[in-house]
């Protein structure tokens, strides 16, 4: 008999994850098999390598997440079907569909970005609608208005490099390794952002983001510092600190602006870049509303957030069929328009 438990499966990029969540709010299990060490030598995720790693890990991860839970205790299976790497997504989706068919369970298809938003429902306090969500990850920088569950209006998005992608690329320029977010943050703690001024792409009149120009500015600055070294020159740690401040300044200011403009009651942060301490500090300083953010383990890719979102989809009757396919470029705002996902 179902106890309101949902099995979530996530494989959109380089984490193979499975989790069981009760009624969209309480984590029963949460297992993540990371591929960071595998891809670190390449300086980024290699799609073919990622999909092969998922094939190896998906069954053991699901088995560990289920533990002693019986299949008839589940209300359904939720799985990420986009956006992400096609080969990686196929592994998780195929496993989820096979389990749903074999065990006679309902299936919910989840957008990876909406899953990040729902990581905030795994906190002790429940977010209050209407709310503004800032989703910042390796491939996305989105501002999302939610007036109720599963209702998304995309207010702003990245026009080129997302924040996480910019962190990875700048970390590579500075020789700090992969993944770039933690590496930049650590270097920035040893630097002085006031020693340099880097550009901000404000894109006036828009809530969109752009970090490609900032990345190029850092590259030109580093090339100049290498040509003209000197005892008083800024260090690479100073560059990291100035870069981080530039990204945080734009993200925090546009989030605060959108919160005022749309009269929301709560601001929620999510995605891997939401683990950044400076970003959390600045958003909380500039926003006069309650600001919620999951712990770092729920900011990075995981299946608990997929299961949480899946519970609300099952409750709303938004079920997927066994013909569900991956959509690598799936948009978040398509959910409300189609009444699907």
Q: pLDDT tens for residues 68-113? A: 999 999 999 999 999 999 999 999 999 999 999 999 999 999 999 9
- pLDDT at residue 232 in the model: 81
Average pLDDT for 256-266: 98
- pLDDT at residue 177 in the model: 87
Considering the chain, what is the average pLDDT of its residues? Answer: 94
- At residue 17, the 3 state secondary structure works out as strand
Taking only the tens place, the pLDDT of each residue in 7-29 is: 999 999 889 999 999 999 999 99
Q: Is the pLDDT of residue 1 over 60?
A: no
Per-residue DSSP letter, 12:
S
- pLDDT at residue 337 in the model: 45
Q: Is the pLDDT of residue 31 over 60?
A: yes
Contacts of 142 (CB under 8 A, 6+ apart): 113, 133, 134, 135, 136, 154, 156, 157, 158, 332
User: Which CB contacts under 8 angstroms, 24+ apart, belong to 274-281?
Assistant: 274/134, 274/136, 274/299, 275/181, 275/182, 275/299, 275/300, 276/181, 276/185, 276/244, 276/248, 277/185, 278/185, 278/188, 278/244, 278/245, 278/248, 279/136, 279/247, 279/248, 279/251, 279/252
Query: What are the structural domains, with CATH classification, of the chain?
Result: 5-119+298-338 (3.30.420.40), 127-293 (3.30.420.40)
- pLDDT at residue 340 in the model: 46
Reported confidence tier of residue 338, pLDDT bands at 50, 70, 90: very low
Is the distance from CB of 109 to CB of 298 less than 8 angstroms? no
Angle at 331 (CA atoms; ends 330, 334), nearest 5 degrees: 110
Reported confidence tier of residue 231, pLDDT bands at 50, 70, 90: confident
Peptide bond into 179 cis (omega under 30): yes
Low-confidence winner among 63-67, 213-217, 224-228 (lowest mean pLDDT): 224-228
Average pLDDT for 171-193: 94
Average pLDDT for 217-230: 91
Q: For the chain, what percent of residues have pLDDT higher than 70?
A: 97
Average pLDDT for 128-134: 98
Is the distance from CB of 154 to CB of 117 less than 8 angstroms? no
- pLDDT at residue 193 in the model: 96
Average pLDDT for 150-154: 97
């Amino acid at each position: 008999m179902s106890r309101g438990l949902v099995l979530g499966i996530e494989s959109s990029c380089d984490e193979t994850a499975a989790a069981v969540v009760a009624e969209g709010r309480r984590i029963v299990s949460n297992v993540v098999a990371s591929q960071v060490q595998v891809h670190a030598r390449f300086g980024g995720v290699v799609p073919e390598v990622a999909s092969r790693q998922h094939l190896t890990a998906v069954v053991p991860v699901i088995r560990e997440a289920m533990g002693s839970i019986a299949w008839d205790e589940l209300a359904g299976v939720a799985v990420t079907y986009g956006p992400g790497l096609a080969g990686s997504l196929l592994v998780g989706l195929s496993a989820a569909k096979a389990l749903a068919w074999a065990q006679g369970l309902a299936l919910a298809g989840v957008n990876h970005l909406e899953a990040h938003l729902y990581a905030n429902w795994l906190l002790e306090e429940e977010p209050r609608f209407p709310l503004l969500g800032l989703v910042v990850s390796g491939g996305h920088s989105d501002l999302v208005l939610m007036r109720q569950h599963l209702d998304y209006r995309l207010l702003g998005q990245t026009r080129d490099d997302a924040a996480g992608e910019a962190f990875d690329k700048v970390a590579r320029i500075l020789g700090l390794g992969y993944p770039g977010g933690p590496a930049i943050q650590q270097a920035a703690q040893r630097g002085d952002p006031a020693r340099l001024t880097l550009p901000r792409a404000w894109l006036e009149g828009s809530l969109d983001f752009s970090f490609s120009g900032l990345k190029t500015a850092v590259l030109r600055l580093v090339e100049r510092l290498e040509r003209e070294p000197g005892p008083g020159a800024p260090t690479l740690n100073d560059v990291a600190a100035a870069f981080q401040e530039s990204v945080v300044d734009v993200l925090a200011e546009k989030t605060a602006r959108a919160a005022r403009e749309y009269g929301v009651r709560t601001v929620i942060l999510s995605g891997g870049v939401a683990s950044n301490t400076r970003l959390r500090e600045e958003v909380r300083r500039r926003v006069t509303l309650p600001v919620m953010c999951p712990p770092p383990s729920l900011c990075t890719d995981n299946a608990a957030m997929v299961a949480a979102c899946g519970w609300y989809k099952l409750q709303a009757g938004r079920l997927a069929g066994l013909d569900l396919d991956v959509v690598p470029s799936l948009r978040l705002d398509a959910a409300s328009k189609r009444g699907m996902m």
